Amino acid sequence: MLRSPACGLTLADLHALAGDGRRLDDENAIDRLSGDARERAARVFEVLGRAAELWRRRSVRDLVEGAWHALGGPSLCQRPEVDLRDARLYFETLEQADNEGLLADWNAFAELLDDASTEGDPPSDAVRLEVLTMHGAKGLEWDLVVLPQLHRSVGGQNRELLHWLPMTPAKGDEQVLLAPLRSARESANPPLVKFMQAEQQQREAYERQRLLYVACTRARRELVLSACLDPDKPDKVPKNTLLADLWPSLGGEFRADLQRRVEQAGPAAEAPAADALPDQSLKRAPAGWTPQIETTYAWRPALPPRERPVEIEFNWAGTEARRIGTVLHRLLERVGRIGVESLGQAMQERLGGRIPVLLAALGSAGEELRNSEQIVRQALQQTLASPTGRWILSGNHRDAACELPLSGVIKGELINAIIDRTFIDEQGVRWIIDYKSGYHAGGALDEFLGEEAERYGGQLGLYRQLFELMGETEIRAALYLPRHDRLQLVEQ
């Protein structure tokens, strides 16, 4: 952030601020800067300070996105159409990671971020250029193909702890030849390792030439081969390069073209001094710049929103029960989105591994965390193993959704609702299912379930009316209690 166009501190400023073990969260950190740098950094510190005051009271996405807007991020985009889309994808990924409890594990968040992909630049008739790898170009053709940087090495094998080489004898199935690295007391590789290395290099050369053939034959009309050569040593070609593979056939043409270009260039320009500093110019907003704020609209909805009552399920059960319910809801939502049929053993284990992380992120610790983890794990496993639970979470239903937001006007009030699970079954019936993580330890379970259905009847009745406003007629509403594996119908 401090290096971005919104602030643009120099490397010297950053070192003064946080170099040599100094900390950014030091209350006197800003005093280590002066002049323009202090003014720029103070603005960033002020915005981030306001966000820190709202920590745990707003979502992580709201805080990060709000700080980005406050610093003028949208106004500083060089390619607004592309950059704003990329920023939106990042914020959506950040929100997903927060909802799934991945922010407590940086590697898990980084993996999720790596899986996110943008659409790239929008298509344009003015741009007729495609950049691909040689592997990616297979099967395609263009009028003009350019192969640049042929003098660059294509990369060799990293040093392995064990030499291995697949071999196929004249008769028999493929086998693997193995050899360890030489010991520190040996000055040279043993003959077996030398043989394996030579064979591997030969195979890599064949593969490199095969790719070169594929790339060259992608051109319909014109092929441009580009490389860098030393005018003083025109015959010195780097080994293990595509240029080295072409040199026996095209070396003369490369040398001739190099000579022509040297003659056209004339005397060489004076080379920069070896100790010259690299260009560290910054693209940054002017000092004192602030983003233009649009006119604030004073607006209120024409309809009074219906105030949502305190969650009935948890108003008596305590903090830990709320945490259990929240984590169980998230896990069921995750399974419902991918469909229980697609939930393999590896994914199921991964979900189970998220349980303590999610609970800890909500504040559980010690013995409470261990007890709550056991409750959630047992409820999840029971749901995934039961016919009822698998039917609810099936990915084969029509128009299925999890955590579906709905809004509508009922009796003059604006109703905003979140439906835990909904779908249309094989008979064309719309199901509205509300998860309840409560547990009844005593007897008379049916009586308890009846009381729960009566308690939540009004809430599910509103959900039913919202679907009726959209034209649905065949509707059933129910409560699902994962800890009892019971589906309790709620009559209209």
Considering the domain boundaries, does residue 127 fall inside one? no
Judgement on whether residues 440 and 323 belong to the same structural domain of the protein: yes
Tokens encoding 417? 């609702």
Q: Which residue has the tokens 């056991």?
A: 374
User: Does 146 lie in the same domain as 43?
Assistant: no
Exposed, middle or buried by CB within 10 Å (0-12, 13-18, 19+), for 155? Answer: exposed
Question: Could you tell me which residues come within 8 angstroms of residue 335 by beta carbon, excluding any fewer than 6 positions away?
Answer: 343, 351, 384, 393
167-185: b (≥16 Cβ within 10 Å) or e? eeeeeeeeeeeebeeeeee
Strands 486-490 and 475-481: antiparallel
Token output for 85: 């889309």
Per-residue confidence (pLDDT) for residue 42, from 0 to 100: 87
pLDDT at 491: 85
pLDDT at position 304 is 65
The sign one gets for the Cα dihedral 95, 100, 105, 107 is negative
**Ordered per-residue pLDDT tens for the chain, 492 residues:** 888 888 888 888 888 888 888 888 787 888 888 888 888 888 888 898 899 898 888 899 999 999 999 988 888 888 888 888 889 889 988 998 888 888 888 888 888 887 776 655 666 666 678 888 887 788 888 899 999 998 888 765 556 667 878 888 777 777 888 888 777 777 888 888 888 888 888 888 888 888 889 899 999 999 999 988 888 887 888 888 888 888 888 888 888 888 888 787 766 555 556 566 666 677 888 888 887 766 666 666 666 666 655 454 444 457 888 899 999 999 999 999 889 998 888 888 888 888 998 898 888 889 999 999 999 999 999 999 999 999 999 999 999 999 999 988 888 888 889 999 999 999 999 999 999 988 888 778 888 899 889 889 988 999 999 999 999 889 999 999 999 999 999 987
Q: Are residues 468 and 340 in the same domain?
A: yes
Q: Which residues pair with 378 in a beta bridge?
A: none
Can you give the CATH number for the domain in which 350 is found?
3.90.320.10
Residue 118, number of CB atoms within 10 A of its CB: 13
In a domain, 225, yes or no: yes
Both 78 and 218 in a single domain?
no
CA distances from 343 to 338, 340, 370, 395 (A): 7, 5, 25, 10
Q: Is the distance from CB of 40 to CB of 287 less than 8 angstroms?
A: yes
> Buried b / exposed e across 314-323, counting CB within 10 Å, b at 16+?
beeeeebbbb
437 found inside a domain: yes
168-169-171 Cα angle (round to 5): 120
pLDDT of residue 377: 94
d(CA 97, CA 120): 23
Q: Is 304 within a domain?
A: no
The predicted structure's pLDDT at residue 308:
56
Are 339 and 445 within one domain? Answer: yes
Token output for 198:
């030579």
* Chain centre to alpha carbon of residue 204: 34
Does 16 lie in the same domain as 68?
yes
Q: Which domain holds residue 240?
A: 142-181+189-264
- DSSP annotation of 150 reads T
With H, G, I as helix, E, B as strand and everything else as coil, classify residue 8. Answer: coil
* Residues 453, 394 within the same domain: yes
